[in-house]
Chains A and B, each alone.
Chain A
Amino acid sequence: MTTPAPTDPVVAALQAVLAAEHGAVFGYSLIGVRLSDPGQVDFARTLQATHRDVRDALMTDIARRGATPVEALPSYSPADKVTDATGAQRWALQLEQDCAAGYRYLLANSVAAGTAGAAARKQALSGLTGAAVNATRWRKLLTPATPTVAFPGV
């Protein structure tokens, strides 16, 4: 196995996305417990499964590129303590925004990779859109009058 240059921009960005996905997998396992609305619980569980799949695929991809995937932290904490459903929604929003930022970073770094970054760019665009749509669903519950942001991932 060849070790990629430490400055490989796509691998560096994939690692950033993976770190965010680790956080999402951890976070959603606790968020579901704090939510009371069955629809929201289902949504959180679906997202947890989706983020787990994405995390696993990213780990495989990074390893295939000759790098060691970043490991998950022992635990992740939200910006504010989660004590109720609203706090859980806020944390979920934060997790999706973190993922969106990672994917936007990947989008930028795919440019530096030239034509070799085409697949990464496609992956980044899909991930950014997915995270933005998920974030909007949580934001609709928290701030219904302003459920969107102009530049997801920024």
Chain B
Amino acid sequence: MAAISRRTLISRGLLIAAAAAGAALGMTKSVHHKVAVPPPAPPRALVSLLTAQQGLLTGYDAAIASNPANSALLTALKSDVTAHRGAVQAVLEGYPGWRLAQSQPSATPPDTPVAGSTSALAAATKKLAASTASSCSAWPSADSNAVRVVPLLGSISACLNTHVGVLT
């Protein structure tokens, strides 16, 4: 039997004691893992508006293709809606949850194309003008983007109302 020195004995003893203490600490103290919290989703009203605008634009494309006599006027109206869509997208970029929502296709409802007739465009535009006005009125002042969003929604709603007058 090999002789064990006193120093070896002490150092092994200390090692075992330290391991035991570490194990005991590990069993009694909870371990906190950092969990990534997703940013809040962008306002549903803006996402719905964007979706409806896309449906309207699809309707304009069909109407312009089937109605060459009015294509200049319809193209002018379509360019307004395209500008609206761009402005709404720009506002959505200000919400941290927007990019995340973009990466999840199921989160964004598919747009409902509007039929390519002026009467269908007028009806869809009227509906969108009303819902945009409601969003404008109800937008919480406490929202960090409110001072930008409220006038934008007001202008879009007003513009859509002028479209209704032109289309009917």
**Residues on A facing B (Cβ under 8 Å):** 100, 103-104, 107-108, 110-115, 117-118, 121-122, 124-125, 128-129, 131-133, 135-137, 140, 144-154
> Per a CB cutoff under 8 Å, which of A121, A131, A137, A153 touches B136?
A121
> Per a CB cutoff under 8 Å, which of A137, A145, A146, A152 touches B159?
A152
Whether A107 lies near B157 (C-beta < 8 A) is no
| B146 on interface, CB distance cutoff 8 Å | yes
By a CB distance below 8 angstroms, the chain B residues around A145 are: 72-73, 76
| B137 on interface, CB distance cutoff 8 Å | yes
| B151 on interface, CB distance cutoff 8 Å | yes
Whether A129 lies near B166 (C-beta < 8 A) is no
By a CB distance below 8 angstroms, the chain B residues around A147 are: 73, 76, 162, 166
Given contacts A132-B158, A151-B155, contact A125 B136 (CB under 8 A): yes
Most interface-central of B72, B83, B158 (chain A CB within 10 A): B158
| B22 on interface, CB distance cutoff 8 Å | no
Give the complex CA separation of A97 and B150 in angstroms. 19
- Size of B's binding interface in residues, CB under 8 A: 31
A113: nearest chain-B partner, CB-CB: B141
Give the complex CA separation of A125 and B141 in angstroms. 15
Whether B162 lies near A114 (C-beta < 8 A) is no
Q: How far is the CB of B128 from chain A (nearest CB, A)?
A: 14
Whether A136 lies near B150 (C-beta < 8 A) is no
Whether A111 lies near B158 (C-beta < 8 A) is no
Given contacts A148-B80, A151-B83, contact A133 B154 (CB under 8 A): no
Whether B147 lies near A112 (C-beta < 8 A) is yes
By a CB distance below 8 angstroms, the chain B residues around A112 are: 141, 147
A117: nearest chain-B partner, CB-CB: B141
Q: Considering the complex of A and B, which 9 residue pairs feature the smallest CB-CB distances, nearest first?
A: A150-B83, A132-B158, A136-B162, A150-B80, A151-B155, A129-B158, A152-B158, A108-B151, A107-B154
Query: Please, could you name 19 A-B residue pairs with CB atoms under 8 Å apart, sorted by A?
Result: A107-B154, A108-B150, A108-B151, A114-B142, A121-B137, A124-B154, A125-B158, A128-B154, A128-B158, A129-B157, A131-B158, A137-B165, A148-B80, A148-B163, A148-B166, A149-B159, A150-B84, A151-B159, A152-B162
Give the complex CA separation of A146 and B165 in angstroms. 13
Given A111-B141, A111-B146, A147-B162: 4 more A-B contacts, CB < 8 Å:
A110-B141, A122-B137, A137-B165, A153-B154
Whether A148 lies near B154 (C-beta < 8 A) is no
A154: nearest chain-B partner, CB-CB: B155
Q: How far is the CB of B131 from chain A (nearest CB, A)?
A: 13
By a CB distance below 8 angstroms, the chain B residues around A124 are: 154
| B77 on interface, CB distance cutoff 8 Å | yes
Instruction: Enumerate B109-136 residues with CB–CB distance to A below 8 Å.
Output: 133, 136
By a CB distance below 8 angstroms, the chain A residues around B137 are: 118, 121-122, 125
By a CB distance below 8 angstroms, the chain A residues around B152 are: 151
